[in-house]
Amino acid sequence: MHQSIKAPETVVSLLDILFYPDPLLRKIAAPVANVDGRVADLVDNMLDTMYHAPGIGLAATQINVHERIVVIDVSEESDSPITLINPEIKALDGEGEMQEGCLSIPGIFETIKRPSQVQVAAIDREGNPFELEADGLLAVCIQHELDHLDGKLFVDYLSPLKRNRIRKKMIKAAKERDEEEFDDDE
């Protein structure tokens, strides 16, 4: 066993985000058995990654960790993070449309129809169970992230034709990204 070097707390740990159409995004996440220090660290790293992206929500699936963990922050000042561990939707109501985008499908924004109100039960970062009722952007974001845990993406709500167009676009973008890594001197 070699000794691990502990990073100072201020260091931001960024995790790599999977990009559509990576099949790993389709894996169904397993429930978290114990909310312990390992999970708390993972949550913190997920929040750092989400803020840096920048995004308003991130599911563990997107960083190739297939456990039922979601982080969200829809606040103006990015200072109100919400952690949902083993989340379960208790009730859905209403209907609304919103333009959604996804950190795993960068640059694509599409109008998606979903229930406009949601009631969800989950466990927080400290291991305490809680319930949350949401509407507006938060309600949409919760549903979007919970979909990830079941291997579902917002493009699945689009027509196959549209989804295929996005798929091709993302494959092309991935190639360009690989090339850029050599060109970009920044």
| Residues belonging to the active site | 145
- Closer CB to other proteins, 116 or 145, in the complex: 145
- Closer CB to other proteins, 33 or 153, in the complex: 153
- Closer CB to other proteins, 154 or 163, in the complex: 154
Q: Find the Cα–Cα–Cα–Cα dihedral 100, 105, 108, 114, rounded to 10°.
A: -20
CB atoms within 10 A of CB 136: 12
Give the DSSP letter of residue 174. H
- What is the token pair recorded at 180? 């850029």
Residues 84, 138, 11: CA angle, nearest 5 degrees: 55
- Report d(CA 137, CA 120) in Å as an integer: 15
For residue 14, the minimal CB distance to other proteins (Å) is: 15
- Closer CB to other proteins, 126 or 183, in the complex: 183
Looking only at the bridges linking them, the beta strands covering 105-114 and 69-72 are unpaired
For residue 133, the minimal CB distance to other proteins (Å) is: 17
Assess contact for 153 and 69: CB atoms under 8 A. no
For residue 5, the minimal CB distance to other proteins (Å) is: 30
- The binding site for other proteins (CB under 8 A) comprises 53-57, 72, 74-76, 98-103, 106-107, 109, 111, 136-137, 140-141, 144-145, 173, 176, 180, 183-184, 186
143 Cβ partners below 8 Å, 6+ apart?
A: 89, 92, 114, 115, 118
- Closer CB to other proteins, 85 or 129, in the complex: 85
For residue 141, the minimal CB distance to other proteins (Å) is: 5
**Helix, strand, or coil here: 158?**
coil
